[in-house]
Amino acid sequence: MTEPTTQTTTSWRPRIVAFFCNWCTYTAADLAGVSRMKYAANTRVIRLMCSGRVDPQFILDALARGADGVLIGGCHPGDCHYVEGNYKMLRRFQMLKRMLKELGIEEERLRLEWISAAEGEKVKRVINEMVAQVQKLGPLGIPQKFEDWDKEMEHFAAQVAEKDAAATCSCAKADQPALTTA
């Protein structure tokens, strides 16, 4: 898990990807904007027809491509335009939290909120809280980790190649008889 430094928490700004339901949370975000409510600008909103359409791979891809946190917004339970899409998202959310924990990623980097179309103030509050929470955690830095892992794998591949070359050379020495098969 990441340890934030003093420099990290003062100059670094987290990148948040938000998956919002078209019918409720996205409309509430629109209301917040029209009402000129101030919330953190470092959140990128992706509109989906339903929170139930958020595939777990979307969240993993967002984190792998540099997001420091992911926010999912959907209709309140019982108010889903697609009947039970938000319940589907809730099940996926619980599974994702367990998966992220196993991967060594803090659960606090993923958040699910039920926000109706009339709750523009809640969108503002949730986004600001999410940004503050991820700011405390520090950068996730998965793209950098991928680069480090790639370099490590190249190093291991070079070591294996050296050992293979050494093993081949030791068999072909002049003072040793060649292997014969009967």
Residues 120 and 154 in one domain: no
Residues 18 and 69 in one domain: yes
Whether residue 85 lies inside any domain: the answer is yes
Residues 152 and 70 in one domain: no
In angstroms, the CA 4 to CA 113 distance is 26
Q: Which residue has better confidence, 165 or 91?
A: 91
pTM of the predicted model as reported, rounded to 2 decimal places: 0.79
Total of domains in the chain: 2
Whether residue 182 lies inside any domain: the answer is no
75-126: per-residue pLDDT in tens?
A: 999 999 999 999 999 999 999 999 999 999 999 999 999 999 999 999 999 9
How many Å separate Cα 25 from the centre of its chain?
Answer: 20
pLDDT of residue 170: 57
pLDDT of residue 29: 97
Q: Domain with 69 in it: what CATH number?
A: 3.40.50.960
pLDDT at 145 over 70: yes
Alpha-helix runs per DSSP H in 65-174: 85-102, 120-137, 142-171
Q: Name residue 48's beta-bridge partners.
A: 21
Q: Which conformational region is residue 163 in: left (phi greater than 0), alpha (psi within -120 to 50 degrees), or beta?
A: alpha
Cβ(70)–Cβ(44) below 8 Å? no
Whether residue 179 lies inside any domain: the answer is no
Whether residue 45 lies inside any domain: the answer is yes
Confidence of residue 5 (pLDDT cuts 50, 70, 90): very low
Q: Which residue has better confidence, 110 or 166?
A: 110
In angstroms, the CA 96 to CA 51 distance is 14
Largest CA distance in the chain: 88
18-65: per-residue pLDDT in tens?
A: 999 999 999 999 999 999 999 999 999 999 999 999 999 999 999 999
Query: How far, CA to CA in Å, does 83 sit from each of 18, 54, 106, 117, 151?
Result: 22, 15, 31, 16, 48
Residue 136 CB neighbour total at 10 angstroms: 11
Residues 41 and 61 in one domain: yes
Q: What DSSP designation does 55 have?
A: -
Whether residue 8 lies inside any domain: the answer is no
In which domain, by residue range, is 120 found? 13-140
